[in-house]
Structure 1
Amino acid sequence: MFLFHVGEDSITDINYSSGFDFQFSLAEVEGAKRSFAMFNNSINSTKLFVFGDSYLDTGNFANSYSFKPPNGITFPGIPAGRFCDGRVLTDFVASFLKIESPTPYRLRNSTNAEYGLNFAYGGTGIFKTVVDGPNTTVQIDSFEDLIRQNFYKKEDLDSSVALVNAGANDYTFALKNGKIIEIEAVTKALVNQMSVNLKRLGSLGIRKIAVGLMQPLGCLPVTLLLPSPLGCNDIINLVSKNHNKLLRQAVQDLNNQAGGKPLFIALDLYESFDSSIKTMQKNFEGNSTLMNPLVPCCHVNGVGNSCGSVDDKGEKKYTLCEKPELSFFWDEVHPSQNGWSAVFNILQPSLSQLT
C-alpha cells in the first residue's frame, strides 16, 4: 500500500522510466535470482502477474523512499524499490509457486520477464489517489496492451496466476477529502470496482486470481497515537472488516459466475496480520529482548518525513531498530520482511489453491 503517501492520475499508458536509478533495479533483479536460483522455469511454466500498491511493488515507483537507505538492508542489501527492509508479499508468493519474483513492469524490455511481470506501484489505489502513478485499472490496461503486442501469448497465460492487492490508499484519500460520513458508499464503490478488475483479469486469460482482503488498518503504527501502543484501534478496524465482508461476497459471486474457470481466491490479510501481531505481542510481554510488533523498526522523526529522509546536511530524519528481524512493521504502514514472513505462513493454506 503506501498509506498517507498516496495517489495516481488516470492515464492510458504507464511511464515507469523517468528518473529511475538503473543500478538499483539490477540489484533487485539479481538479488531475486540469487534468492530463488533453485527454481527453473523450464520445469515450472507458471507466470505470476501482480497488480496493486506498495505491499506488492518490487521496484516500479522510482522517485520514492523505497530507493533510499535503509530500505533493502535485509534483501537485496541495498535499496531496490521495495517498501521494506527485505522481501515483500510478492516475493513470498513467487517462492511458493517455485519461480523467481516477477520482473517490475518498468524493466520489461531490459530483463527476463519469463516468470511474469509486476505492475504494482506504491501509493496507488483502486481509484485515483494523489500520487502520479497507475491505479489497478491502468495497470491492467498495460497488461492487456502487452497481450495485444504478443509480449505474452495465450499459452503463456494458461498456467498463470494473478496477485492483486489495493484499497487502503483509497480510504486514506477519501478520509483526507472529508468523505468519512460516506464511508459505506466508498466501501461499496471500491469493492464493486475491484470485482470488475478481477473479472477482467479472468477474461484476459489468467486462470487463478488471488486478491488480498484489507489488512487491519487500525493496527498500522500510523493510525496509533501512543509512541509505544499496546493495542490496535478497533474503530478503524471496522472499516477493514466491512470492506472484507463485501469483498468476500464479491469473490464468491465471481466464482459462481465463472464455474471455477478462472478460480478467484481471497487471501485473508486481516486475519494473518491480526494473528501474527497477537502472537508477537504475547511473546513480547515481559521479554525485553523482543520488539512490540506495533512499533515500527524504522521510526520517522517529524511530520512529512519517511524512512530514508535526510536533511540538507545529510542527517537522518529517522531512527532504526537494532534488529529488523524481530520487528513486524518496517515503517508506519509496511511490514518488515519478518512481518511478511509471518503473514505468509498463515496464508499458505489459501495459497495452495494456486498450485
Structure 2
Amino acid sequence: METQNLFFFSLCFFLFSLLTGSSHHHHYQLHHGLYGFQPTKLFVFGDSYADTGNTRIKNSSSWKFPYGITFPGKPTGRFSSGRVLTDYIAKSLGLKTPIAYRWTNYEPDHVQYGINFAYGGTGVFKTLLPGPNMTTQIDIFQSLINDGSPIYNTSDLQSSLALVTLSGNDYSAYVAKGGSQTFGTTENGAKPSPISSFFVEIRRDLETFINLVVNQLKTNLERIHGTGVKKVAVAALQPLGCLPGRTIQNSFQQCNDTDNKAATYHNRLLTEAVANLNNGTNDSPFVILDLYDSFISVLQNKSGSVKFETPLKPCCLGISSEYSCGDIDDKGEKLYTVCENPENAFFWDMYHPTQAGWHAAFLALNSPL
C-alpha cells in the first residue's frame, strides 16, 4: 500500500466491524493445486508487493535511497530494503526473477523466465496513484501473446505460473475518495461533503465494495488462466491492521483488530471465488498464497523461522508524520531514520516488509510452491 489516509482507513474498518458484527478470525482452506508442476516461466501482475521495477511515478520511494540497501545495495524499484515476494517465489521454482516489463526489449534472453507487469500503488480499479491497474496489466500481456509474432507460444504458457498480488490500494482509494462506489461523487456529479460521504456512504457501501473488488479480482484471475497460463497463484490480503502505518498510533505495539477483520472478510470472499473457479476445471489451476496467516505467524514469533524483536516497528521511518522513508530536504539532508540492521526488522517502511521480512513470510507460507 502506498497511500497514507490512516485515520480514515482505520475508522472505515471500524464501521465495517459494526456492519459484520463478527470478532472471530475465519480459518479457511487455501492451498492445493501446484504439486507436481514445475513452471519454466513466471508472469506477475499486481502492486508493490510484487513490483520489481515498473513504477514510473515521479519521486517514487522505490527509486530512492535507502530502498535496495540490503539488495543489491541501491534502489531497483522494489518497495523494500531488498528482495520482495516475486524474488522468493521465482527462486523457490528454480527460476531467475522475471524482468520488469518497463525494462525488457523482448530479446529471448530478457524474457526467458517470464515478465513482471506489477506496478506499485495499483489495484483492480483506479486508485490514488497513476499506473496501469490489473486489467491494463493483463491487456499488455495479452497483446504480447496475441500479436502476429508472439514472444510466447502455447507450450510456453502451458509451462508457466502467474503470481497475482492485491494488497489494499483499492480500499485506501475507496476511503480517501469519499467511501462510495462512485468514489465520492453524488448521482448528479457533485461532490458530497466529507462528513456525509464518510459516515453515510461507507456504512451503506463498504461491504458491497469489498465484494466488487473480489469479483473483479476473480474476473482477472480467470482472464489470466484463459490466456493459456497453466497455474495461477493469488496472494490473500495481508493483515492490514498490523502494518506500521496503522500501528504507529500505539507506538508499534499492537495490531488493529478491526482492520484485520476487514482483511479477513476480503480473504473469505477470495477463498470462495477461487473455490468456484477451481470447481469449473479438471485440474484446480488456482491457488491462494495465505499472506495473512504467514504474516501473523512471523509477527507473533510462531513460525519457527527468524524472530524479530520489535516486529511491528519499521526499519525506515520519516522523522515526523510529514515525511516518509527516502525523503530528503532541499539540501539533501535525510528526513528519515534507518535502523542499524534491516535484517533484524520485519517491516521496512509503513507498508512493506524488509527483505528479511519477505523471506520469513515466504518460509511461513503453508504453500506447495
Whether TM exceeds 0.5 here: the answer is yes
| 1:56 corresponding residue in structure 2 | 50
Does the Cα contact within 8 Å between 1:47 and 1:156 map onto a contact in 2?
yes
**Other-structure match for 2:344:** 326
Instruction: Note the aligned Cα RMSD (angstroms).
Output: 2.1
Are the counterparts in 2 of residues 299 and 332 from structure 1 also a CA contact under 8 Å?
yes
Among 184, 190, 193, which residue is 2:207 paired with? 184
- Distance 1:245-1:45 versus aligned 2 partners, 3 A rule: closer
Matched, 1:341 2:359: yes
Superposed CA offset, 1:195-215 (max 9, x none):
000001111000000000100
Contact 1:2 1:53 in 2 (8 A): no
Structure 1 residue 340: Cα displacement: 0.3
State the alpha-carbon separation in 1 of the partners of residues 121 and 4 from structure 2: 8
Moved more, 134-143 or 59-68: 59-68
Structure label with greater radius of gyration: 2
Cα deviation, 1:113-154, whole Å, max 9, x if unaligned, reads 110000000000111102110000000000000001202111
Q: What is the match of residue 166 of structure 1?
A: 166
2:367 aligned partner: 350
Tell whether 2:302 aligns with 1:277: no
For the Cα contact (< 8 Å) 1:71–1:78, is it kept in 2? Answer: yes
Q: Amino acid of the residue matched to residue 163 of structure 2?
A: L
Comparing 324-333 with 110-119, which one deviates more in the overlay? 110-119
- For the residues of structure 2 that align with 1:104 and 1:119, how far apart are their CA atoms? 6
Alignment of 1:298-337 (within 5 A): 298-337=316-355
1:119 is the counterpart of 2:113: no
Instruction: Measure how far apart 1:155 and its partner are.
Output: 1.3
- In the TM superposition, what whole-angstrom CA distance separates every residue of 1:265-310 from its partner, at most 9, and x where no partner exists? 011010000110000899999xxxx641100000112345321110
Q: 1:351, 1:90 → 2: CA distance? A: 15
Written as runs of structure 1 = structure 2, the 5 A alignment for 1:254-269 is 254-260=277-283, 263-269=285-291
Q: Of 263, 277, 293, which residue of structure 1 is paired with 2:311?
A: 293
Which deviates more, 82-91 or 306-315? 306-315
Aligned partners of 1:281, 1:296: CA distance in 2, in Å?
20
The 3 A distance-change label for structure 1 pair 282 and 202 is: closer
> Take 2:117 and 2:322, find their aligned partners in 1: how far apart are those partners?
27
Q: Name the aligned partner's letter for residue 229 of structure 1.
A: F
Identity of aligned residues (%): 49
Does the 8 Å CA contact 1:4/1:169 hold for their aligned counterparts? no
Match for residue 68 of structure 2? Answer: 72
Equivalent residue, structure 2, for 1:41: none
Give the match for residue 231 of structure 1. 254
Structure 2: runs of 5+ lacking an equivalent: 6-37, 180-201
1: distance between equivalents of 2:367 and 2:52? 22
Instruction: Quote how far apart the aligned CAs of 1:177 are.
Output: 2.2
- Report SS of the residue matched to 1:351: coil
- CA distance, structure 2, for counterparts of residue 283 and residue 97 of structure 1: 20
2:77 aligns with 81
SS of residue in 1 equivalent to 2:288: strand
Give the conservation status (yes or no) of the 8 Å contact 1:162–1:209: yes
Q: 1:184 to 1:314 in 2, by over 3 A?
A: same
Distance 1:237 1:59 in 2: 29
| Aligned residues of 1:56 and 1:89 also touching (Cα < 8 A) | yes
Q: State the Cα distance separating 1:102 from its structure 2 match.
A: 0.3
Contact 1:281/1:293 (8 A) holds in 2: no
Q: Is the 8 A contact 2:241 2:255 kept in 1?
A: yes
Shift of 1:3: 3.9
Q: Which residue of 1 aligns with 2:40?
A: 46
SS of 1:175's partner is: helix
Segments of structure 1 that go 5 or more residues without pairing to the other structure are: 6-43
Indicate conservation of the 8 Å contact 2:237/2:266, yes or no.
yes
Distance 2:119 2:222 in 1: 21
TM-score, normalization by structure 2: 0.79
Q: Which residue of 1 aligns with 2:230?
A: 207
8 Å contact 1:126–1:167 — kept in the other structure?
no
Equivalenced residues, count: 308
Look up the equivalent residue of 2:364 and give its one-letter code: I
State how 1:88-167 maps to structure 2 within 5 Å: 88-109=84-105, 112-149=110-147, 150-167=150-167
1:329 offset after TM fit, Å?
Answer: 0.2
